[in-house]
Amino acid sequence: MFSAIVIDKNDEGQTVSVQQLDEAALPEGDVTIDVSHSTLNYKDGLAITGRGPVVRKFPMVPGIDLVGTVSESSNPGFAVGDVVVLNGWGVGEGHWGGLSQKARLKGDWLIKLPAGFTGEQAMAVGTAGYTAALCVDALVNHGVKPDQGEVLVTGATGGVGSVAVALLAKAGFTVVASSGKASEAEYLTKLGATSIIDRADLSAPGKPFQRERWAGVVDSVGSHTLANAIAAIKYRGAVAACGLAQGSDLATTVMPFILRGVALLGVDSVNCPIAPRMAAWERLARDLDKDLLALIGSKTIGLAEAIQAADDLIDGKVRGRIVVDVNR
């Protein structure tokens, strides 16, 4: 038997509780994992609270991230005792996820956790940090180099933005952080930002073709912010876009793309192939100062506490990452 958060639905609506389940109830998969930690993402908050149509079938165990140790495997890529990490792949939406003491998954969804991370640290990074690493890799692989000029990070105090600032600074880039929180300037500077601009400078509608300023951009905001970032990219620069905090609209023109050769690089963390996943986690293991995880901030809670924490997360009462010790 093992404990898990279970979301179910009946005629009266959605129910959420911690339940004791038999291992035979686990879904199909070729790798069984003793989960040590998961984390609470915004998508998990929507699933648990029922405030967004995240769950695609019931009953469902939420949790789009997990780390743990392989206890059974018929997949040749994984052996008993391997420590593995999972991010995305629709887990917690259509396949039972990580807010559970056990998980059974497809080995094709897993990677081995790089040395240097504890389970708790890996989940403090979570999908947000892994997405940030994918964005940095996208810019570097496109050819954006530190000597080409400043790199902008929008939504810089968020989970993706904070890690992106730290990784870009470590890679030698001059990082400009965009934030609406003036009180966080010292925090962003400690992460590695050399200057901070007000998000209001980017969040209103602007001209589609502006003075060249940025060699590259990591954007988790979308809408007018992304349009303004694109409009000010230097010749043959690039934007790695991974979010839509401001909105999913994009009011721009083709001018930056055809006159400056600008590239808009879409970054998807959910169905990303294994090779770039591994490269992203290798960058995190190599370049993310573990001391900065404490600065970015995470709080570790027990499995049962995650239900109330989901409400707090959606209500905007949470700063930093929420790590869930599923055995606590």
Task: Kindly report, residue by residue over 110-166, the tens digit of the pLDDT.
Answer: 999 999 899 999 999 999 999 999 999 999 999 999 999 999 999 999 889 999 999
User: Going from the N-terminus, what domains does the chain have, and what CATH number goes with each?
Assistant: 2-113+297-325 (3.90.180.10), 127-266 (3.40.50.720)
Give yes or no for a contact between 208 and 186, defined as CB atoms under 8 angstroms apart.
Answer: no
Question: What is the distance between the alpha carbons of residues 322 and 46, in angstroms, rounded to a whole number?
Answer: 15
Give yes or no for a contact between 240 and 255, defined as CB atoms under 8 angstroms apart.
Answer: no
**Cis peptide leading into 208, omega within 30 of 0?**
no
Predicted local confidence at residue 297, as pLDDT: 80
Helix spans in the chain (H): 42-49, 119-142, 159-170, 185-191, 200-203, 223-231, 255-259, 274-287, 290-296, 305-314
Look-up of token digits 């990074």 = 125
The half-sphere exposure of 7 on its side-chain side, counting CA atoms within 13 A, is 31
pLDDT tens for each residue of 230-251: 999 999 999 999 999 899 999 9
Residues 199, 200, 201, 206: is their CA dihedral positive or negative?
Answer: positive
Question: What is the distance between the alpha carbons of residues 133 and 167, in angstroms, rounded to a whole number?
Answer: 7
Predicted local confidence at residue 314, as pLDDT: 87
Residues of the chain with pLDDT under 50: none
Long-range contacts (CB closer than 8 Å, 24 or more residues apart) made by 203-210: 203/228, 203/246, 205/251, 206/231, 207/231, 208/251, 208/252, 208/253, 208/255, 208/256, 209/253, 209/255, 209/256, 209/259
Q: Strand pairing partners for 198?
A: 179
Question: What is the distance between the alpha carbons of residues 231 and 161, in angstroms, rounded to a whole number?
Answer: 20
Question: What is the distance between the alpha carbons of residues 310 and 44, in angstroms, rounded to a whole number?
Answer: 7
This prediction's pTM: 0.94
Residues near 225 by Cβ (< 8 Å), separated by ≥ 6? 154, 178, 199, 202, 203, 219, 246
257 backbone dihedrals φ, ψ, rounded to 5°? -75, -40
Q: How far is CA 199 from the centre of its chain?
A: 21
